Amino acid sequence: MLKKLTLALALAAASFTTLAAEDAKETKIVSDAILALVPQAKLDSVTKSSLPGFYEVVTGGQVVYVSADGKYLLQGSLFDMATKRDLTEARLGGIRKELVDQVPKSKRIVFAPKDPKYTVTVFTDIDCGYCRKMHQDIAKYNEQGISVEYLWFPRSGPGTPSFDKAVSVWCATDRNKAFTEAKSGTDPKSATCDNPIAEEFELGRRVGLNGTPTVIAPDGTQIGGYLAPEAMRQRLDSLASVK
């Protein structure tokens, strides 16, 4: 009996080693295929997908699916029809949450009610029209029990007027006041200091931002784009109800 058990364990270990080697080989094939297609790509992870015969590749805030032989690439949402769940968005949400949660409160500009029901992270640009529209209603978001924590994403990038305005707001004596004034169209007084603007801009690129404002729920779900205060509260309630 003991000999049979020992033999079974040895066979299982050999099988596991073989599968691990096969996975490693396929992972390299997939990685090489992506890099051959996009040499400058930074691969955050390459793992087996729920889609048989395909690997999930996370790169640049996006998720794509590549066949194990490296011949085919799928880009889009992978939807589980049995559970009615968007597996791609769930994966992206986890990535966003992990990255955004690393930013401490000290590197955010926060507008919060006394006892918030929800906290959203908003990547913003001073000169973005819908960003300004959103901030005009900041009191109403707070009335809905929503704390808004701003991170910076000057869409025009470093060395541009929008980027410099973000730095000036951050370096102001009263950041929240300077932020609100800048959102109303008043150019902030020029100032420089140690600031998180560049690192938050890079963070936005890593989570795959393609516009502002980008509103991210506590679980990492991207819920906007601009949403009116009541609509945002409804969306947050809806997300919370399915947990």
- The overall longest dimension of the chain from CA atoms, in Å, is 83
Active-site residue (options: 96, 128, 164, 235):
128
> At what angle are helices 161-170 and 197-206 packed, to 10 degrees?
120
Options 155, 164, 171, 233, the catalytic residue: 155
Residue with tokens 């364990």: 9
Q: Is 209 within 8 Å of 153 (Cβ atoms)? A: yes
Amino acid at 79: F
H-helix segments, the chain? 2-37, 87-100, 129-136, 138-143, 161-170, 175-183, 197-206, 229-241
**Residue 187 among the catalytic residues:** no
Quick check: 16 and 24 in contact, CB under 8 A? Answer: no
Nearest of 46, 70, 151, 40 to residue 104 by alpha carbon: 151
Catalytic site residue 171? no
Whether 128 sits among the annotated catalytic residues: the reply is yes
**Is 193 noted as a catalytic residue in this protein?**
no
Catalytic residue among 91, 96, 108, 125: 125
- Find the catalytic residue in 108, 131, 171, 235: 131
List, by residue number, the catalytic residues. Answer: 125, 128, 131, 155
